[in-house]
Chain A
Amino acid sequence: GAGVSQSPSNKVTEKGKDVELRCDPISGHTALYWYRQRLGQGLEFLIYFQGNSAPDKSGLPSDRFSAERTGESVSTLTIQRTQQEDSAVYLCASSQQLGGEYGYTFGSGTRLTVV
């Protein structure tokens, strides 16, 4: 597609439930990133994938968070046993190469609300 597509755009879930967020990167982009933006706070890095290399998971806040990527295609971010502090906008981005000299292209995000 022309841009990075994320689904769902909005998700309301009950505390304790698992959620899965999806990201479709721009075709041909080898690098894919997940960030989180909590209300009143800046963007927090979560994880990135680059080609066949092992993902950098150093930003994942707890073991309830995991992410997968199929080849250089779709990625899913899974949050298990959601907590209220997980409420945030989850942003996915992709770039042609790691570091994105031409900038990362961000999706519109998934707004997650845990009630």
Chain B
Amino acid sequence: SQELEQSPQSLIVQEGKNLTINCTSSKTLYGLYWYKQKYGEGLIFLMMLQKGGEEKSHEKITAKLDEKKQQSSLHITASQPSHAGIYLCGAPPGGTSYGKLTFGQGTILTVHP
């Protein structure tokens, strides 16, 4: 079965700093979702990457998909306290199984003002 490993597991940064979170898959990536979760709340969809080399941005958050490395990275520029939360990556197990996702363990981001 597919496994997604996120690194780092937790991250503490000062406001204004840039940061990167990585998500590495044990198998071929057919797509990759990034979500953000705040305590006690549901997951907020950030973006989905479908093709190798694809890069998407949403406000100050940019994500890339490297098919060869079976990895995706999420980069936050000039972090703000509002970026704090748990970042989760999720991937479908195969090209025809988009209905279910395997998720990473999450990266806990803390941003100090």
Are the C-beta atoms of A43 and B88 separated by less than 8 Å?
A: yes
Say yes or no for B100: interface residue by CB 8 A criterion: yes
Q: What's the tally of chain B residues with a CB closer than 8 Å to chain A?
A: 25
List which A42-69 residues lie within 8 A (CB) of chain B.
Answer: 42-43, 45, 48, 50, 56, 58-59
Are the C-beta atoms of B100 and A43 separated by less than 8 Å?
A: no
| Contact partner, B100, options A58, A101, A106, Cβ 8 Å | A58
Interface residue tally of chain A, by bracket? 20 to 34
Chain A residues whose CB sits within 8 angstroms of the CB of B42 once the complex forms: 4, 91, 93, 106-109
List which A1-49 residues lie within 8 A (CB) of chain B.
Answer: 4, 31, 33, 41-43, 45, 48
Also in contact, A103 and B45, with CB within 8 A (given A42-B105, A43-B88, A43-B90): yes
Say yes or no for B59: interface residue by CB 8 A criterion: no
Are the C-beta atoms of A105 and B45 separated by less than 8 Å?
A: yes
| Contact partner, B48, options A98, A103, A109, Cβ 8 Å | A103
Chain A residues whose CB sits within 8 angstroms of the CB of B102 once the complex forms: 45
